[in-house]
Structure 1
Amino acid sequence: MKYVNTHEAKSQLSKLIACVRAGEEVVICQAGKPVARLTAFEGERKVPQFGIWKGKVKFEPDWDSPETNAEIAQMFEESIIEPESK
């Protein structure tokens, strides 16, 4: 963590921003006391919206039937190339 006074912060802002972009944290002091912290901007986090797909996705009654599962397994088994025996 780097501590600078307000005068240095005003005159060296570009250099301090470069330090922050490199991962360092800068504390700006006034009369030797910390008053502000300069850190990297992380952006806004999106809050998950539960239920957004409600009513838009429809499952058929047999979506998880043994026949459907066997059909899916067969598709994957057919895509696997077995090595030739020597």
Structure 2
Amino acid sequence: MRSFDIPEASTQLVQLVARAQQGEGFVIAKAGKPMVRVTAIDSPGPGQQRRLGFLEGQFSVPEDFDRMAEREIADMFGA
């Protein structure tokens, strides 16, 4: 996690916050001493990580998923 002194962090705050939203947290330091850690609110906590596919095998998508309620939707739009 990168560290930025207060003056540097204040001049780059918008960019740093945008990066934190993408998962790149950072530390704000005063005279080289870490003061605060900034991370996105929905970022995983220490020791956790986001997992893709964690519901794999727990449900299935019907073959006709893209055609479900096709007639009803067409009727709503007068087609």
TM (normalized to structure 2)?
A: 0.51
Task: Give runs of ≥4 in structure 1 deviating > 6 Å.
Answer: none
Over the matched positions of the two proteins, sequence identity in percent amounts to 43
Q: Gapped runs of 5+ residues in structure 2?
A: 43-79
Tell me the alpha carbon deviations over residues 6-26 of structure 1, each in whole angstroms, 9 at most, x when there is no partner: 001111100101110111110
Number of aligned residues: 42
Counterpart for residue 18 of structure 1? 18
The CA deviation string for residues 8-64 of structure 1, in whole angstroms up to 9 with x for no partner, is 11111001011101111100000100001110012xxxxxxxxxxxxxxxxxxxxxx
| CA RMSD in angstroms, aligned pairs only | 0.8
Tell me how far apart the structure 1 counterparts of residues 22 and 2 of structure 2 sit (CA, whole Å).
Answer: 12
Q: Partner amino acid for 1:38?
A: V
For CA contacts below 8 A with separation 6 or more, give which structure has more relative contact order: 2
Unaligned runs of 5+ in 1: 43-86
Q: CA separation in 2, counterparts of 1:2 and 1:22? A: 14
Residue 49 of structure 2 aligns with which residue? none
